[in-house]
Amino acid sequence: MMLILGLSAALAFSAQATEPPPAQNANRLPEFSWDRVPQYMHIRKAKNFTDNEIKYLATFPLVTFEKTTGSETYQSTEDGTLAAAKAVKEINSSTKILYYRNVIVHYGTYRANEDLKNIPDSLLIGRNGKTKLVRGKCEAYDLTNPRVREWWVGHAREICADPAIDGLFLDGNIKVLSSGYLKRDIGKEKKAAMFDGYETMMRETRQAIGPDKIMLANVIRTGQSQNDGLEAIKRFDGSYIEGFEIAGSQEQKKNNVARGMVAFQKAAREGFIVAFTAGLSEMNTEEGDLNPEKTDEIRKGLGENEDYSKRFNYLLALFLVCAEKHSYFLAHDSYVANKKNKTWMTRPAEFDRPLGPPKGPAVQDGYIYTREFAHAKVRVDIENEVGEIEWLEPKES
């Protein structure tokens, strides 16, 4: 049944791209070109970035600085992110830089957390007084509390007022949007009230940061929210995509990927930003953790062994089959900028090959998708997790 849904939906979305939604301000969107594979960067580093790292970051049209960025060097994520953003902007003013904020999970290293301590009942409390409701490790904001929402929105306004910050990366949305998440701990009525509080907070955030700032949210997720996130994305400029492959079985996995591709295609064709992000070792949890059984093996020869090449080509082919204007790609080994991250400060040869615009939408035959670009032919088999890209030399004029 899931396959039939995916196939019929894919056919329904095979029309040419539509104009961006009226709510979008095109001037705030990142630069985009089909000349090469369009790329995204999502990274954190507790210490300050080196000069060479800043130069590397300035090559990307869209960068998210994750939680903890610069927090050890500058004593807070706010100051660390601003320092990194300003350094990148000095080299490339066109790079769009997003500030990470989770809509529900309470993380440390933020200077703003001091103000939260003065708000009574700011964090959720579950059954038997349980407070660390997220993975048993982290506390969660009580979004039913208007003072919490005011604090959260005010912090977003303050950071986005700096010209070096082009908008927000909003994470944790799925935790609010998923009907079952935390319901056992906080109850059905509280869960519904949390959703209402979230909706209010998102509207107020847009009003607070203004029409020229980006709001990129983690909302497209197969089976985790209404219409796989295609309803939730409407109040944002786009979505980050992760967790494409989360499933309990191989059969579920291929169908989840097919369904996720439908959501990616529709969002992209409607003009939304899509930041497609996937690990070079398979993800195996809802939090996007890398499969520990394969990660170390792949890291040992990352960039040169067969497993790496197969996985990289599969992810890139999958992205290219779905991509439209303002779609960006990141295949990573980690979100942390350090020596263990074998993709950090690297640039695969595929990123320097001419790509050119697509000749049309992808053609689907069961679990196999094909698509042609001006300088590349792409084929991806999601059942066997194989991607093939034939790079074509540009013809001399």
- pLDDT, residue 149, reads 98
Domains assigned to the chain: 2-354 (3.20.20.70)
pLDDT in tens, 340-360: 998 999 999 999 999 999 999
- pLDDT, residue 24, reads 59
- pLDDT, residue 394, reads 80
Q: What is the mean pLDDT of each run of 10 residues along the chain (397 residues)?
A: 35 37 70 98 98 98 98 98 98 98 98 98 95 96 98 98 98 96 96 98 98 97 87 97 87 94 97 96 48 43 66 97 98 93 94 98 98 98 97 80
- pLDDT, residue 304, reads 52
pLDDT in tens, 274-328: 999 999 975 444 444 444 444 444 444 444 567 789 999 999 999 999 999 999 9
Angstrom CA distances, 123 to 77, 218, 272, 352, 390, stand at 20, 22, 32, 47, 52
- pLDDT, residue 397, reads 57
